[in-house]
């Protein structure tokens, strides 16, 4: 039984690494950016993901909504037999009254992989199986003078075939602030994502993909310019940048990632992926679409997200 589970874990880890371009970490699905807007902008989530989209990247931006309530759903086409879905919601109590907790949010994410070939200890094919990873989280954000702070607590679960890993507890912490330099208003963001317990099956325990995210953004006429840096604690570094052109109800976006670091026993340097996308805003509804090359192994992937806003404008 133990040998069969080890074979299953080995097979599933290969699939997960190919699907998510992940290093040796557990809960690699946590690295997926659910925001189609952020993905199109080179995954500059530290400053690009706002409101309900910010859960999972920088919770300090949770209160950045034009209405009191926001609901966001996302779907990603990653590869064949891999399904990713995400839903998040946020309530903004206030943007200026310093209520300690100015916004509250929640999210649920599920990644399922089907059609994995089962093998016994001798390498002979057995019945196919699948894997399911999920997380539930709650976020809080508030003003601290000119700085915004945010904190997310999350519960992470993983299942491969008939076997379940431990229930892991993790979190995100973020901050965001604005300042003026070179005659322009600039927004800076910083966060640490996915710190906490690792994922453990029997005697194998893998750390979560803990990542430091840094970002800067500014507006130049109809253009939003942003860039940032992601440093994974396993050694991989990615520099990202994006540009967004706003023309009324339509926004056009493009971005890229420049990747360097360790990938297995190799050192990779170059573009992790180019991305582009479009957004449509009609009243309090926004639909975002993004397409890009998330990794050389997977080729083109697509993201789609829908954001609905309700209620009065925040006070």
Residue 262 corresponds to which tokens in the numbers above?
């360790």
The architecture CATH gives domain 2-310: Beta Barrel (2.40)
Using an 8 Å Cβ cutoff, are 141 and 149 in contact?
A: yes
In whole angstroms, give the CA distance from residue 14 to residue 17: 5
Report the pLDDT value the prediction gives residue 289, as an integer from 0 to 100: 95
Report the pLDDT value the prediction gives residue 94, as an integer from 0 to 100: 67
Report the pLDDT value the prediction gives residue 11, as an integer from 0 to 100: 41
Report the pLDDT value the prediction gives residue 261, as an integer from 0 to 100: 53
Report the pLDDT value the prediction gives residue 127, as an integer from 0 to 100: 66
Report the pLDDT value the prediction gives residue 89, as an integer from 0 to 100: 96
For the chain, 315 residues long, give each residue's pLDDT as a single digit of tens. 444 444 444 444 434 443 444 334 568 889 888 889 999 998 888 898 899 999 989 999 998 888 889 999 998 877 667 888 999 999 987 655 666 788 999 999 999 887 766 666 666 777 667 788 999 999 999 888 889 999 999 999 998 877 888 899 999 999 999 998 888 899 999 999 999 988 888 788 888 999 999 999 999 999 999 999 999 887 788 899 999 999 989 999 999 887 765 444 444 444 557 899 999 999 999 999 999 876 545 567 888 999 999 887 765
Report the pLDDT value the prediction gives residue 219, as an integer from 0 to 100: 93
Q: Any idea where the domains of the chain sit in the sequence?
A: 2-310
Report the pLDDT value the prediction gives residue 120, as an integer from 0 to 100: 63
């Amino acid at each position: 039984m133990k040998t069969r589970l080890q074979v299953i874990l080995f097979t599933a880890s290969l699939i997960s690494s190919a699907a998510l371009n992940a290093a040796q970490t557990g809960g690699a699905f946590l690295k997926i950016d659910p925001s189609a807007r952020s993905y199109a902008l080179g995954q500059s989530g530290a400053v690009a993901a706002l409101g309900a989209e910010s859960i999972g990247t920088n919770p300090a931006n949770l209160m950045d909504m034009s209405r009191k309530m926001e609901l966001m759903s996302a779907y990603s086409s990653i590869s064949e037999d891999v399904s990713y879905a995400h839903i998040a919601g946020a309530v903004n109590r206030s943007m200026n009254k310093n209520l300690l907790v100015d916004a509250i949010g929640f999210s649920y994410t599920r990644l399922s992989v089907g059609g994995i070939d089962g093998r016994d200890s001798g390498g002979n094919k057995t019945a196919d199986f699948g894997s399911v990873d999920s997380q539930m989280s709650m976020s809080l954000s508030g003003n601290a003078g000119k700085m915004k702070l945010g904190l997310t607590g999350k519960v992470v679960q993983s299942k491969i075939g008939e076997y379940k890993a431990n229930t892991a507890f993790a979190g995100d912490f973020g901050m965001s602030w604005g300042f003026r330099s070179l005659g322009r208003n600039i927004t800076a963001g910083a966060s640490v994502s996915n710190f906490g317990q690792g994922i453990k099956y029997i005697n194998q325990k893998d750390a979560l993909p803990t990542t430091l995210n840094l970002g800067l953004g500014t507006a130049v006429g109809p253009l939003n310019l942003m860039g940032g840096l992601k440093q994974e604690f396993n050694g991989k570094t990615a520099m990202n940048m994006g540009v967004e052109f706003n023309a009324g109800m339509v926004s056009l976006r493009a971005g890229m990632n420049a990747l360097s670091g360790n990938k297995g026993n190799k050192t990779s340097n170059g573009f992790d992926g180019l991305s582009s996308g479009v957004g449509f805003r009609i009243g309090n509804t926004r639909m975002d679409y993004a397409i890009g090359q998330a990794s050389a192994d997977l080729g083109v992937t697509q993201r789609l997200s829908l954001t609905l806003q309700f209620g009065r404008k925040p006070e």
